[in-house]
Structure formats: structure tokens, C-alpha cells
Chains A and B, each alone.
Chain A
Amino acid sequence: MKLYELTILKAHELLKQKKISSLELTRSIYDRIKKVDKKVGAYITKAEKLAVLQAKEADKAIIKGDISYLTGIPIAVKDLICTKSIYTTCASKMLEKFVPSYDATVIKKLKKAGAVIIGKVNMDEFAMGSSTENSGLQLTRNPWDLSCIPGGSSGGSAAAVCADMCLGALGSDTGGSIRQPASHCGVVGMKPTYGRVSRYGLIAFASSLDQIGPLAKNVKDCAILLNQISGHDPSDSTSAPENVPDYLAACEDGLKNITIGIPKEFNSSQGVDSDVSITIKNAINIIKDKGARCIEVTIPHTKYSIAAYYVIAPAEASSNLARYDGVKYGFRDKTDSSLSEMYKNTRTKGFGPEVQRRIIIGTYALAAGYYDAYYKKASQVRTLIIEDFKKAFEKCDVLLSPVAPTPAFKIGERIDDPLTMYMSDMFTLSANLAGIPGISVPCGFSQNSLPIGLQIMGKHFDEEKILKVAYNFEQATNFHLKKPVC
């Protein structure tokens, strides 16, 4: 087995036994990147010099017996999480030359554990998109089929994990941006409960929906990353002061006493590919066979989640992105002009089309005279969606659904039709609106051999049950072991 093919857990065992070094592992990852990333295009920035130093430090620590699960483990980071001294571009011309002067809390936590930051990976510009085609800097392709999108917005994270160009990755999920690319690339990806992971140093898109989470080759690796990044942070006033359990230990229990709910709305949704429905039905049967009880539940307002989301997220974005005015950091248009012309030219040249579209939708929804009709209305519907979930979770522990209505689609197929692109997120948006956690685990393949993911959602701060169900499912199947040839 090549070193770059290792899982986090396996690499940890080998590092601990001193059978491999972090430096060898890190070099193997960069060799792999040199070989395949010309085709895949996941990395925007490779931080090889810093990574080699981190690997050497990790090896020194390991010799002293100072080792945790992530010591010496190569990790990729979505390019909207601030990394001190490493470009953080948000895949935008606006931040193409931006070098943060501090680390995000999650990066501090990874470094504290001795992880090796390999580099920064591609995404839709400012995390707005479902295919990574909205990146202002480069195209990322799906390792399973290079003519397809990797999903988005954390498409670089998912593609890098999938093509063995890191052992695990961090992404962010505002409406499905971890789960949907994980599904399309056949890896595990988790959006934790809102507030579970600090957002300090995460470049904001929609602050009431954004959440950082892990992408990994299997469920246990995902649990290891979640263990490390979770917890209250005084620098993020929305981070939750809840205790963090041991997510790795949570994987081990069986499924007796677990009740799974199948939302009937998700099964009767239009536009769902037959490969997806068949695969999800099989997955539900496998989980039943493992001893879980299965009931049907209803989340009646979920059909309004796309409409509510495309008011709330752009509204928050239009406010968050007001800071890009060419003064303190980022791109500035240098045409000789007045202050307000400088603002306008900077923003018009710095932001790509999807970002501009969402700023306009958001500004419109918040404008005088429209606030009640759009923003307030959408926020009220959000309340109803949350109540629906609460009622459903009185009867069951977790909910199962598809992650995305179709497998990965072709590059260019939906780029000119934003509304159709937004429909890609029909199953994932409601978890962000409700703040609940959700995971994507590989559960099969389409007839064209593209991966399909199963979504498992849980109650607020109940990531343990999600991981338990996901791990039991994974152990009963071998979809997560299949690799693309690239």
C-alpha cells in the first residue's frame, strides 16, 4: 500500500509504531499531488515548505512519545479558513493575494495536535455554489469522472480526499457545501451542529448558517477530525458552551435501541434520479438489518427550504460582503476616481457573477419595503422548519435521506441556470436552516459508476448517534473502499 492511500487511523498506528515518519507520509502526499492534481485541480496553494517543517516537528514529538491521533497527519484546508502566512483566497479575485495575519481557531487546534497543513483547496467563490465552477481562480474536476463537477462548494476538499491528495480535509457547509461534494466524490463529510465548531477565522458567507466540518476517507477518520476541531471558543460568540463527547468512541456501539426516521417528503420529491432512490432504499434496508427500527416521519415545511434559504443566505451574504471595499485588505481598483467610484469598481471587478447575483438578491430582500415580504417571511418559515424537525425527533433518533437528487453532473451543465443549480441542495439546506448536524456517507454508485451519498441527520449536538449509524452502515458495506482511477 502506498503511504498516500492510508487512512488517518492507520497512518496514526504506523507513526506510533515508528514504522513510517510524518516526513515520508507528507512527501508521499506531495508526490501524489504532483502526479494527479494537474488533472483534478484541487489545490489553489501548496504550502510545501511549511508542511515539511511541521512534519519534522511532528516526527520529533513522536520520538518523545508525544503523539495524538492527528500528529503528523497531512490535512487539506478549504481556502476560506484563515491560515497565518498562507494565502487564503476564498477562490476570489477579491482575495487572491490575501495572506491572513492569524490562524482560524480550527487551524490553531489542528496545529496544536501536530497536524501537517498540506495546502489550501478550491471552492466556489465565497462558498456560493454547488459545483466549484464558481471559483474565480481554477476548475476542479471530479476524480471519478474528469468531465463531471466534484460538487460544491467544498469541491476541492472532497476531490483532494477522494484522490488521496491528503488524509483528511476541512470544509465549510452553509447549505450542503460539505455533504454534497462528499456525496459526489464518494467520501465521508460532516456538517456539525451550528455552534459545535468555532467559526473564528472562517471567512463569512451567511453567519447564521455557516459551519466548519471534516471530510475524510471513512467515518472514524471523520470522528477523529471532529474531536479535534469541536468545542467552545471565546472568540466566537455563537460557539456553544456544550461539552464535547468522544466521537471516535461513539462509533463503536451497535444500532439496537436506535430508531431511524424516513421523511416522506424526501421520498416523494420531484427531480430525484432513479439511481439515487434505489441506492437510498437499499441503504435503509442495510441499516434495518443492523437492528435499527425504522418509521416514517413528516417534515411538511421542508419543501419551502430552498425558497427560505435563497432569501436568508443572500441577505446575510450581502451584509457580510459589504466589507470588501478595497480599503483594508484584498483587491482595489486603481483607476483614478472618487471614493465611491473606487468602492464600486473594486467590487464589480473583484466579485464573480454568482457572488454579485447573490449580493443583489440579498440587498433586494433587505431593501426598504421588501424586508417583511422576504427576509421576515423566510425567517418565519425557518421557525416552522425547525418545529417540524423537533416533532420528528420526538419519534426518532436520526433521519435518513439522499444527500443530492442526482449524482455529479457534467461541467457546464447547470452553470447558466442558477435556479436549477440551487435545486442541487434540496435535501441539505434544511439542516442548515435548523442548525442540526448531518453527514454524507458513501452508499453506492450510479449506472455510470459515480458515487452516491446517504445523508444522516440528527438532533442538535447529537453527532454521536449520526456517527454511530454511519459507522455501522459503513462496516456493513464496502463503498468507502472503492477508489477512482486517476
Chain B
Amino acid sequence: MSLSKNDVIHVANLAYLNLEEKTVDKFAAQIGKIIDYVDTLNRVDTTNVIPTFHAISLTNAFREDTEKKHLQRKTALENAPEKENGHFVVPKVIG
């Protein structure tokens, strides 16, 4: 199964990417090829196989509940593209 241009536009939209038309064409071809290759996984019988999400699984990595130093507000805002009065500034959300 290959990827249509509409699939690429739809998925790009979900991922908050704005693709130019020529990029959509290019990605549809390239990613289609990759998805076709990935489809070889269907040759493997995985009935009743438990999926692995971490190769070394640790459960409940607890630590002592003690006070720790955290980044100060000023430091946390140092890399902000736009800030004001100790806050991150974003474009107007409510009209």
C-alpha cells in the first residue's frame, strides 16, 4: 500500500507541519516506499507475541521523596523566544 498525497497532507496536519506542494509530492513517493518496505513485517507471525516497548524493563523506579533544587523561574525563561513578567508569551488565543 502506497501513500497518497492526501494521506501526507492529513498526517502533516496532525503533526503541525505545513508542507509545500512539491514537498508533499516528494514525501508521498519517499514515505510510500518506506511504508511498503515496513509492510514486510506482515510476513512475520506475531500471534500471541507480547509487544516490547522497552528492551530493559524496570518497574517502579522510585526515588526518595525529598526536596530538590529546581530551575529558578528566571533560568527556565532564559531560552524563551518571547517572555513577559515571568511568563512565556504566545500569540493571542482568545479572540
Contacts and interface: CB of A to CB of B under 8 A. Distances in A.
Interface of A: 97-99, 101-102, 193-195, 208, 234, 237-238, 240-241, 301, 304, 306-308, 310-311, 318, 322, 325-332, 336-345, 347-348, 351, 353, 356-357, 359-361, 363-365, 367, 374, 376-384, 386, 418-419, 422, 433-436, 460
18 contacts: A208-B53, A304-B43, A311-B41, A327-B88, A337-B91, A340-B16, A341-B91, A343-B16, A357-B30, A360-B15, A361-B31, A361-B34, A363-B11, A364-B11, A364-B35, A374-B41, A376-B51, A419-B37
Nearest to A102: B71
- Among B17, B40, B71: residue with most chain A CB under 10 A: B17
Nearest to A341: B91
A328 B79 contact: yes
Contacts, number: 170
For chain B, what secondary structure do more than half of its interface residues adopt (helix, strand, loop), or is it mixed?
loop
A351 to B, nearest CB: 8
Interface size class of B (residues with CB under 8 A): 35 or more
Nearest to B20: A348
Contacts of A339: 90-93
Interface of B: 3, 7-8, 11-12, 14-19, 23, 27, 30-31, 33-35, 37-44, 46, 49-56, 58, 61, 63, 71, 75-76, 78-82, 88, 90-93
B81 A344 contact: no
A454 B9 CA distance: 42
Contacts of A381: 41, 44, 46
Contacts of B41: 304, 307-308, 311, 374, 377-378, 381
Given A310-B34, A361-B31, A383-B52, A98 B79 contact: yes
B63 A380 contact: no
Given A304-B41, A361-B31, A342 B55 contact: no
Contact of B34 (A99, A194, A241, A419): A419
Given A342-B91, A359-B15, 9 more contacts: A194-B54, A304-B40, A307-B41, A340-B16, A360-B17, A360-B27, A363-B11, A364-B7, A460-B56
A435 B91 contact: no
Contacts of B56: 193-195, 238, 240, 435, 460
Contacts of A378: 38, 41
Nearest to B72: A101
Sort A-B residue pairs by CB-CB distance and give the 3 closest, nearest first. Answer: A435-B55, A379-B51, A329-B79
Given A98-B79, A101-B75, A419-B37, A384 B55 contact: no
A419 to B, nearest CB: 5
A172 B18 CA distance: 30
A357 B26 CA distance: 10
Given A99-B79, A307-B41, A329-B80, A237 B52 contact: no
